[in-house]
Chain A
Amino acid sequence: MPAPNALIALEQIGKIYDGAAVLTDASLSIAKGQFVALVGGSGAGKTTLLKTINALIIPTTGRVLIDGQDVAAQPGPALRRRIGYVFQEVGLFPHMTVAQNIGITPSLLDWPADRIAARVDTLLDLVALPRESAARLPAALSGGQRQRVGVARALAAEPSILLMDEPFGALDPVTRVALAQDVRRLHETLGLTTVMVTHDVGEALLTADRIVVLAEGRIIADDTPAALLAGAHSDPRVAALIDAPRRQAEKLARLAQKGGAHG
Chain B
Amino acid sequence: MDDRLHQALALLPERLGWHVALSAAALALGLLIALPLGVLAARHPRLRWVSLSLAGLVQTIPSLALLALFFPLLLLLSGLSERMLGHGFSALGFLPSLLALTLYSMLPILRNTAAGLTGVDPAVVEAARGVGMTDRQRLWRVELPLALPVIMAGVRTAAVWTIGAATLSTPVGQTSLGDYIFSGLQTEDWVAVLVGCAASAVLAMAVDQLLGLIESGVGQRNRRRWVAGLAGLAIGLVGALSPLASVALSRGQPGYVIGAKNFSEQYVLAELMAGQLEARGARVERRINLGSAVAYRAVAASEIDAYVDYSGTLWANVLGRKDNPGRQAVLDQLRTGLKDRDGVVLLAPLGFENAYALAMRRDRAESLGIRTLADLAAKGGGLTMGGDLEFFSRPEWTGVEQAYGLKFRARRQFQPTFMYRALASGEADVISAFSSDGRIAADDLVLLGDPKGALPPYDAVILVSPKRAGDRRLIAALSPLAGTIDVKTMQAANYAIDRDAGKVSAAEAAKMLTR
Q: Give A residues with C-beta under 8 Å from B.
A: 54, 56, 76-82, 85, 87-95, 104-105, 108-109, 137, 153, 157
Shortest beta-carbon contacts, A-B, top 10: A91-B127, A81-B132, A89-B123, A80-B132, A85-B130, A91-B123, A77-B134, A77-B132, A105-B131, A95-B145
Task: Determine whether the beta carbon of B123 is less than 8 Å from that of A80.
Answer: no
* Cα distance, A105 to B131, chains bound together (Å): 6
Distance in Å: Cβ of A122 to nearest Cβ of chain B: 18
> How distant is the Cα of A76 from the Cα of B130 in the complex, in angstroms?
9
Residues of A within 8 A of B133 (CB): 77, 104, 108
Tell me what chain B mostly uses at the interface: helix, strand, loop, or mixed: helix
* Cα–Cα distance between A204 and B127 once the two chains are bound (Å): 24
A94 and B124 within 8 A (CB): yes
**Which residues from chain B sit less than 8 Å from chain A, CB to CB?**
121, 123-124, 126-134, 137, 141-142, 145-146, 221
Candidates A80, A94, A95; contact of B129 at CB < 8 Å: A80
In the complex, the chain A residue whose C-beta lies closest to that of B123 is A89
User: Could you tell me if B131 and A85 are in contact, using CB atoms closer than 8 angstroms?
Assistant: yes
| A108-B131 CB under 8 A given contacts A87-B123, A90-B123, A93-B124 | yes
Residues of B within 8 A of A81 (CB): 131-132
10 further interface pairs, Cβ-Cβ under 8 Å (given A79-B132, A87-B130, A108-B131): A56-B130, A82-B132, A85-B131, A90-B123, A91-B123, A91-B126, A92-B127, A93-B124, A104-B141, A108-B133
Q: Give min CB distance, B490 to chain A, whole Å.
A: 67
Chain B residues near A78 (CB-CB < 8 A)? 132
Closest to A54 in B: B130
> How far in angstroms is the closest Cβ of chain B from A144?
18
Which residues of chain B come closer than 8 Å to A77, judged between CB atoms? Answer: 132-134, 137
Q: Could you tell me the distance between the alpha carbons of A92 and B221 in the complex, rounded to whole angstroms?
A: 17
C-alpha gap A89/B121 in the complex (Å): 10
Q: Which residues of A contact B130 (CB under 8 A)?
A: 54, 56, 80, 85, 87, 91
A109: which B residues are within 8 A, CB to CB?
Answer: 132
**Which residues on the A side are within 8 Å of B134 (C-beta)?**
77
CB distance from A77 to the nearest CB of B (A): 5
The CA of A95 and the CA of B120, in the complex, are separated in Å by 12
Cα(A58)–Cα(B129), bound, Å: 14
Is B126 in contact with A105, judged by CB distance below 8 angstroms?
A: no
Q: Is the beta-carbon distance between A95 and B132 smaller than 8 angstroms?
A: no
Chain B contacts of A153 at CB under 8 A? 131
Q: List 14 A-B contacts (CB under 8 A).
A: A80-B130, A80-B132, A85-B131, A87-B127, A90-B123, A91-B121, A91-B123, A91-B130, A93-B124, A93-B142, A105-B131, A105-B132, A108-B133, A109-B132
Docked pose: A94 CA to B126 CA in angstroms: 14
* In the complex with contacts A81-B132, A108-B132, A93-B137 CB distance below 8 A: no
Residue in B124, B128, B130, B221 whose Cβ sees the most chain A Cβ within 10 Å = B130
- B350 to A: closest C-beta gap in Å: 68
Measured CA separation A85–B130 after assembly (Å): 6
Closest residue of chain A to B145 (Cβ to Cβ) is A95
Output the least CB separation between A156 and chain B (Å): 9
Cα separation A65 to B128 with both chains bound (whole Å): 23
Knowing A95-B146, A95-B221, A108-B137 touch, does A87 contact B132 (C-beta < 8 A)?
no
Question: In the bound complex, how far is the Cα of B129 from the Cα of A10, in angstroms?
Answer: 21
